[in-house]
Structure 1
Amino acid sequence: MISQLLFAIVLIGAILLFYKNAYKIYQNIRLGKSVNRFDNPSERFKTMLLVAFGQQKMFKRPIPALLHLFVYVGFCIINIEMIEIIIDGLFDTHRVLSFLGDFYNFLIASFEILAFAVLLSCVIFFIRRNVLKLKRLNQPELNNWPRSDANYILITEILLMTAFLIMNAADQKLQVVLPESYHIAGSFPISQYLIGILPESINSLIFIERLAWWFHILGVLAFLNYLPISKHLHIILAFPNTYFSNLNLKGKFENMESVTAEVKAMLDPSLPPPSGDVSRFGVKDVHDLTWKNLLDAYTCTECGRCTSACPANITGKLLSPRKIIMDTRDRVEEVGKNININKTFVDDGKSLLDSYVTREEIWACTSCNACVEQCPVNINPLEIIMGLRQYAIMEESQAPASINNMLGNLENNGAPWKYSQADRANWTQM
């Protein structure tokens, strides 16, 4: 009873703690401005199935995609066994779902094969990051915590899968020597090869089986509560993020409603003046972003596919789309803590622009949408970059000389070039 009570307390505590931390993230995302992403539900559901469930965009790089698929499928399917583990923990039973017979044997065998695939994939991922040192996984924005975060998760996955297989190996051996407590159930195609390294003592076997069982369940619950502070939150948020994707063509930019209303009022004085309070044009801080931009920030997997495809980054410029998204997440976390402490946002003298993202970064962008195309979970760094640019120009009149020249030509000549409209066709006379 003590074991069952302890398990129940740990389980309930872990779930409540996860809810508390997840709710904070939900509140932070709600700091963003409203945007309609609830239209066309059938198309959105299809996008979620293909991109999040089907990992469609991952397979642009087949080898890491296949390894990631093993981890993804293994994570989803192996955790089905958590149902049985929770029931066994609460009611002191042993393999309570074994009444399913041959289907149960098939499930356990599948779990073991997937667990081994997850373990092997995580070892390969760890080697790619720390031994082979792939460029996109070892760039400056990943220094310190982001790099440690990735390694912590890989090591945790390796340990959890190892504990799962050792638990099954010990359980299988106990089914033979202690059938009155460990009745025969399950099929063990992988862990059967670990039986030889286990001791013969029944007490030692029980200790190993219980230790591995507790390590596995506590590890999963700890992992659950690690997610809110980790890039691996995308395990959960990838699904809503892809559902709320921008369904428009990637090259389409939306007009700012406030500017459109002002222009219409100037062109037609008979129209009523624009309604609503326009406090700012463009984006200076996270309050000016939409809730979808903030959801993007929390969904980022930090895989670096966006940055590795960015032509500005490839040519040595400062811009890294991954860093833009990571900076946005860091800033919204900072703003959220500010609000939690003060009950309302108190100006801290910082902003997303300048304090986190530099002017050099936003003007290095070519707006080619390569980052948007490459992202495996449909994150859009370009929306944030363009919002920051809009603020710099419309609120501060600050832009590189080449941009100012182009804007001046548009105003005076109706085109980006310095020639007047009357001279545009002169080249045909040459």
Structure 2
Amino acid sequence: MVSQLLFAIIFIGAIVFFCKNARKIYRNIRLGKSVNRTDRPFERLKLMFLVAFGQKKMFKRPLPALLHVFVYIGFCIINIEMLEIIIDGLFGTHRVFSVMGGGYNFLIYSFEILAFLVLASCVIFLIRRNVLKVKRLNQSELKNWPKTDADLILITEIALMTAFLLMNAADFKLQALQTAHYTIAGSFPISSSFVGLLPNDMDSLIFIERFSWWFHIIGVLAFLNYLPISKHLHIILAFPNTYFSNLAPKGKFENMSSVTAEVKAMLDPSLPPPSAEVSRFGVKDVQDLTWKNLLDAYTCTECGRCTAACPANITGKLLSPRKIMMDTRDRIEEIGKNIDRNKSFLDDDKALLDNYISREEIWACTSCNACVEQCPVNIDPLQIIMGLRQYVVMEESKAPTSIGAMLNNMENNGAPWKYAQADRANWTNQ
């Protein structure tokens, strides 16, 4: 009963703590402006199943995609085994699902294969990051905490899968010794191969099995509560993020409704003037972004596929679309902590523009949409960049000289070039 009570306290505490942190993230996302992403629900469901469940965009890079699929499927299916562990922990049973007979043997057999594939995949991922030093996984924005975060997750997954296999190996040997409480059940294709390394003493085997069991379940619950402060929150958020994707064609920019209303009123005085006064044109801080932009930021996996495809980054410019998303998430987290301390947001003399994202970064973007196309979970860094540009141009009138000249030409000549409309066809006379 002491063991069951301790398990119940740990399990309920972990769930409550996770829900508390999840509510903070939800609140932070809701700080963004409203945007409608509920139209065409069947198309959205199809997109979510293809991109989030089906990993469709991952397979543009086959090897890491295959390894990721092993980890992804393993994570999903082995959680079925977690249900058995929770029931056993709460009610003091052991392998409660063993009543399934042959079906249970098949499940455990599958779990072991998947656990081994997850373990091997995580080892390869660690080698790619720290030994082979794949470029997109070792760029400047991934130094310090982001690098530590990625390595911690991989090491944790390796430790959890090792504990799972060690638990099964000890259980298998205890079953063979016909130990009380250890029902003969399950098929162990991986763990049975190293039972010879375990001691023959029954008490030692029980200690190893129980220690591995507790390590595995506490590790999973700790991992659950680590997610809200980790890039691995995408495990949960990838699904809503892909569902709420922008279904408009890439490259289509929405006009600001307030600006459109002003222009129409100027061109047609009979129209009523805009009813609402606009507090700000464009984006200066994260509160000026939409809730979907903030969901994007929390969903970012930091995989770097966007940055690897970015022509500005490839040619040595400062822009990294991955950093744009990481900076956005860092800023909204900072604002969330400000709200927690003060009950409401108190101005901290900081903003997303300048304090996190520099002007050199936003003007390096070619708006080609390569980052949007490459993202495996349909994140859109370009919307954030364009919003920041709008603020610089419309609120501060501080666009780079070349941009200012282009805008003047558009206003005066109806084209980006300095030539008048009447002179456009002069080249045909040459």
Normalising by structure 1, report the TM-score. 0.99
What does the per-residue CA deviation read over 1:33-80, in whole Å, with 9 as the maximum and x for residues that have no partner?
000001100000000000000000000000000000000000000111
Q: Secondary structure at the match of 1:72?
A: helix
- Structure 1: distance between partners of 2:411 and 2:21: 50
1:9 alignment counterpart: 9
- Structure 1: distance between partners of 2:314 and 2:105: 51
Matches within 5 A, 1:61-100: 61-100=61-100
2:128 alignment counterpart: 128
C-alpha displacement of 1:293:
0.2
What does the per-residue CA deviation read over 1:174-222, in whole Å, with 9 as the maximum and x for residues that have no partner?
0111343111000000000120000000000000000000000000000
1:200 alignment counterpart: 200
What does the per-residue CA deviation read over 1:334-363, in whole Å, with 9 as the maximum and x for residues that have no partner?
111111211221111100000000000000
2:312 alignment counterpart: 312
- Structure 1: distance between partners of 2:303 and 2:316: 19
- Structure 1: distance between partners of 2:161 and 2:194: 13
- Structure 2: distance between partners of 1:183 and 1:177: 11
- Structure 2: distance between partners of 1:275 and 1:26: 31
2:412 equivalent to 1:412: yes
- Structure 2: distance between partners of 1:276 and 1:241: 30
1:272 alignment counterpart: 272
1:23 alignment counterpart: 23
- Structure 1: distance between partners of 2:379 and 2:419: 39
1:37 alignment counterpart: 37
- Structure 1: distance between partners of 2:334 and 2:53: 31
Normalising by structure 2, report the TM-score. 0.99
1:332 alignment counterpart: 332
What does the per-residue CA deviation read over 1:356-410, in whole Å, with 9 as the maximum and x for residues that have no partner?
0000000000000000000000000000000000000000001111101100111
1:375 alignment counterpart: 375
C-alpha displacement of 1:93:
0.6
Indicate the larger mover: 274-283 or 65-74.
Answer: 274-283
- Structure 2: distance between partners of 1:219 and 1:180: 27
2:352 equivalent to 1:348: no
**Identical aligned pairs, as a percentage?**
79
1:185 alignment counterpart: 185
Letter in 1 for 2:160: L
Matches within 5 A, 1:354-369: 354-369=354-369
1:49 alignment counterpart: 49
- Structure 2: distance between partners of 1:243 and 1:404: 38
C-alpha displacement of 1:7:
0.1
Indicate the larger mover: 315-324 or 406-415.
Answer: 406-415
1:289 alignment counterpart: 289
2:393 alignment counterpart: 393
User: Which stretches in structure 2 are left out of the alignment for 5+ residues?
Assistant: none
User: Structure 1 runs of 4+ off > 2 angstroms?
Assistant: none
Matches within 5 A, 1:132-147: 132-147=132-147
1:112 alignment counterpart: 112
2:221 equivalent to 1:224: no
C-alpha displacement of 1:277:
2.9
- Structure 2: distance between partners of 1:234 and 1:367: 25
- Structure 2: distance between partners of 1:222 and 1:336: 22
- Structure 2: distance between partners of 1:277 and 1:158: 55
Indicate the larger mover: 407-416 or 13-22.
Answer: 407-416
Q: Secondary structure at the match of 1:330?
A: helix
- Structure 2: distance between partners of 1:144 and 1:276: 45
Q: Secondary structure at the match of 1:395?
A: helix
- Structure 1: distance between partners of 2:17 and 2:178: 38
Q: Secondary structure at the match of 1:344?
A: coil
- Structure 2: distance between partners of 1:188 and 1:275: 70
1:245 alignment counterpart: 245
User: Which stretches in structure 1 are left out of the alignment for 5+ residues?
Assistant: none
Letter in 1 for 2:252: K
Would you say how many aligned residue pairs link Structure 1 and Structure 2? 430
Letter in 2 for 1:244: F
- Structure 1: distance between partners of 2:403 and 2:276: 30
C-alpha displacement of 1:313:
0.2
C-alpha displacement of 1:271:
1.5
C-alpha displacement of 1:84:
0.3
C-alpha displacement of 1:254:
0.6
- Structure 1: distance between partners of 2:309 and 2:352: 24
- Structure 2: distance between partners of 1:214 and 1:384: 44
Letter in 1 for 2:330: D
Q: Secondary structure at the match of 1:132?
A: coil
- Structure 1: distance between partners of 2:125 and 2:14: 28
Matches within 5 A, 1:164-179: 164-179=164-179
- Structure 1: distance between partners of 2:342 and 2:212: 44
Q: Secondary structure at the match of 1:80?
A: helix
- Structure 1: distance between partners of 2:429 and 2:320: 45
What does the per-residue CA deviation read over 1:273-327, in whole Å, with 9 as the maximum and x for residues that have no partner?
2122310000000010000000000000000000000000000000000000000
C-alpha displacement of 1:272:
1.6
- Structure 2: distance between partners of 1:428 and 1:221: 72
Letter in 2 for 1:71: V
- Structure 1: distance between partners of 2:277 and 2:121: 53
- Structure 1: distance between partners of 2:344 and 2:394: 28
